[in-house]
Structure 1
Amino acid sequence: MNSEALKIHKKKFPNINPNSWEHPTDKLALSALQKMPGFDTLLKFIISNTTEKSLRMMTLASSVRVNDLQFPKVYELLIEACQIFDIKDIPELYISQSPVLNAGAIGVERPFIVLNSSMVETLNQEELLTVIAHELGHILSGHVLYHTLLQVLLKLSIMDIGIPLGKTAILGLIMGLKEWERKSELSADRASLLASQNPETCIHLLMKIAGGGMIEEMNLGEFLKQAEEYERQSGFMNKTHKFLNTVFESHPFPVTRIAELLKWVQSGEYENILNGNYDNSPLSEDNAKTYSFQEDFKDYTDPINEKVKDATDFVKGILNKKSFE
């Protein structure tokens, strides 16, 4: 991790509710998921305090707990991110040895964050703050319970442990959880932008996730051309391949995530929150009732839309950085 100090004064959001930034498809997909037959039965059967205790013990034994004596600079970033979101109960943070650029938040009553060591080695401090904020976004939105359910279910589904549901029903719930999981990442990406308060930081982070740490070898315009090429792949067989390539992914593709963040900035909602105008009202139950996975599935099996075509010009306009010229 680069050693530069955090010099940018960040705006803070006292008493902010995650409803103010969550992606609409996230909450609606979760509401639809909760109505799927067998979901409550599965949740009660698998998730309990012992589940969290087992996960915490495994992490405690195999990873490094971050505090003021271990990875103190990372700990400062955790404190900084919690202050931005007005989080009083600071979650535990661990660093786990892995070459994969990834992080996660798991748990039930007391969620905790795990950063892969490659994140600390590859990202600068602003980017690492953005990752931590992304995971805090999952915690604030209550995603971690369902992420934990999915991780446990994926490990146990191949074993006969007496789950009181048929294999077809379990597979359907896994598919539903994976579909929602991808949407939940779009909400957490918005939280990461609110913490970094710099779209360039979020974009560079997603480019590094796609291509590694050599950001100087990448170009946003060329990166987004890949998105256009992907979009042009139409027809039954290509859409089938897109579905199969996406269906078990935990995250939307990086180009999709960049496009969604840019749309959010363009909408003005991001700027409103920065100015302290955030809406804490819950999702309308009427809207939740009208949602179905099928109606929204096309957005994620064929994810790049028309707005990505002019995203490069928009980024140049809001960032005006040499790296995008």
Structure 2
Amino acid sequence: MTASDAPVKGFQLKDISPRAWQHPADRAATAALASVPYLDKVVRMLIQLGYERALRQASLGASVRLGEQQLPEVWSDHVFAYTTLDMGDTPSLYVTQRPFANAFAIGAKAPIVVVNSELLRLLDAPQRRAVFAHEAAHILSDHQLYRTALLILLQLTESSRMPLPLMPVRTALLEWSRATELSCDRAAALVTRDPLAVCRTLMSITAGAMTDQLDLDAFMTQSMEYAEKGNGIERLTRLMLDLGVTHPLPVRRTRELMTWVRSGDFDRIVGGEYIKRDDPVSVRAESGEAVSFYSDRFKDAFKDAGETIGQGGQQLADWLRKAKDDLGGSGGDDADR
């Protein structure tokens, strides 16, 4: 048994703040998202009109809730993430039969975590813990309101009932969502105390088959060959690949994570030196060249989203009420109960 085959007993990141592991792209995207006028009103409208309740019911209707009597080892791996991150409540965990490896958290006020059966089939215990830690980091980071709104918008896109004024909102939320994934990969590495376990997880999910025959060193070399630089066609190709997906490309995620580990921040945080939840925000720490660099990428898409929401007004609200039937929502103010 290797060191990563079992949780590190007694290890806890007491009172750790999500700012401790936040990627500069996440920080910049979150700031840009906060500047979009009326965005919160539209997002909360999606929740209040019953979209979240419909999404939650669709997930739970064909799922099995796990616990000490149902797949207890998987449940234990789930609980471990919340204990390590010093989170008071552990959300319910459900497994559903889906043929692709994925896990996600639903709910702005009372999150639940849903994991696809294919992910449990594909991943071993250390990799499962990395996935559960990643989802726990989303919850601790208060990503759930916007993430749930994005899941709703993606459902509307699939049903071909996405109102045109919401398209820039979807684009802005996708940009933000991809940035948050880079942060939560760092949190997964901290919880498992094994960045390579996170890299193996990304490799396994990306390949989807014969994972026991894959070579992590080769995948790491591949990830280091990936770079943002290149000629115009290469950069445009990467941008187009990014635009329609909720997660950054796996090779990029691996490279970003290991670059952060080599910076020394991983060892520093594991050693107990990190930002606590009640620590004051340092303007100097929250700014800098990295954040400015990423801000340039986000500002146009987020500006379009703001202008669209401001112009949509009542028409957007009417479209939302009509389109909710495609998700089976029945409306009401108790969507989060």
* TM class, shorter-length: 0.7 to 0.9
**Distance change in 2, residues 1:264/1:249 (3 Å):** same
Q: Per-residue CA shift, 1:257-298, capped at 9, x if unaligned?
A: 11111111111111111111111346556857985866246x
Taking the aligned partners of 2:58 and 2:137, their CA distance within structure 1 comes to: 23
The counterpart of 2:161, out of the listed 146, 155, 159, is: 159
- Determine if contact 2:55/2:152 at 8 Å carries over to the other structure: no
Q: Hey, what does 1:22 align to over in structure 2?
A: 22
Please state if 1:144 is matched with 2:144: yes
Question: What amino acid is aligned across from residue 207 of structure 2 in structure 1?
Answer: G
Q: Per-residue CA shift, 1:202-256, capped at 9, x if unaligned?
A: 1111110121242343233433454466549833333222211111111111111
**After alignment, is 127-136 or 10-19 more displaced?**
10-19
Please state if 1:86 is matched with 2:121: no
Specify the SS of the correspondent of 1:138. helix
The counterpart of 2:210, out of the listed 197, 205, 214, is: 214
Relative to the length of structure 1, the TM-score reads: 0.79
- Determine if contact 1:123/1:213 at 8 Å carries over to the other structure: no
**Distance change in 2, residues 1:88/1:179 (3 Å):** same
Q: Percent identity?
A: 33
- Determine if contact 1:106/1:148 at 8 Å carries over to the other structure: yes
Question: What amino acid is aligned across from residue 231 of structure 2 in structure 1?
Answer: G
Q: Which runs of no fewer than 5 residues in structure 2 stay unpaired?
A: 299-337
- Determine if contact 2:137/2:187 at 8 Å carries over to the other structure: yes
**Distance change in 2, residues 1:53/1:228 (3 Å):** closer
The counterpart of 1:185, out of the listed 174, 181, 187, is: 181
- Determine if contact 1:14/1:86 at 8 Å carries over to the other structure: yes
Specify the SS of the correspondent of 1:47. helix
Q: Hey, what does 1:61 align to over in structure 2?
A: 61
Indicate the RMSD between aligned Cα atoms, in angstroms.
Answer: 2.7
- Determine if contact 1:32/1:293 at 8 Å carries over to the other structure: no
- Determine if contact 2:226/2:252 at 8 Å carries over to the other structure: no
Q: Which runs of no fewer than 5 residues in structure 1 stay unpaired?
A: 298-325
- Determine if contact 1:29/1:291 at 8 Å carries over to the other structure: no
Taking the aligned partners of 1:265 and 1:175, their CA distance within structure 2 comes to: 30
**Distance change in 2, residues 1:5/1:246 (3 Å):** closer
The counterpart of 2:195, out of the listed 199, 202, 205, is: 199
The 5 A counterparts of 1:1-325 are: 6=6, 8-9=8-9, 11-48=11-48, 50-156=50-156, 158-159=160-161, 167=164, 169-227=165-223, 230-231=226-227, 234-280=230-276, 281=279, 291=292, 295-296=296-297
**Distance change in 2, residues 1:291/1:112 (3 Å):** farther
Higher relative contact order (CA 8 A, sep 6+): 2
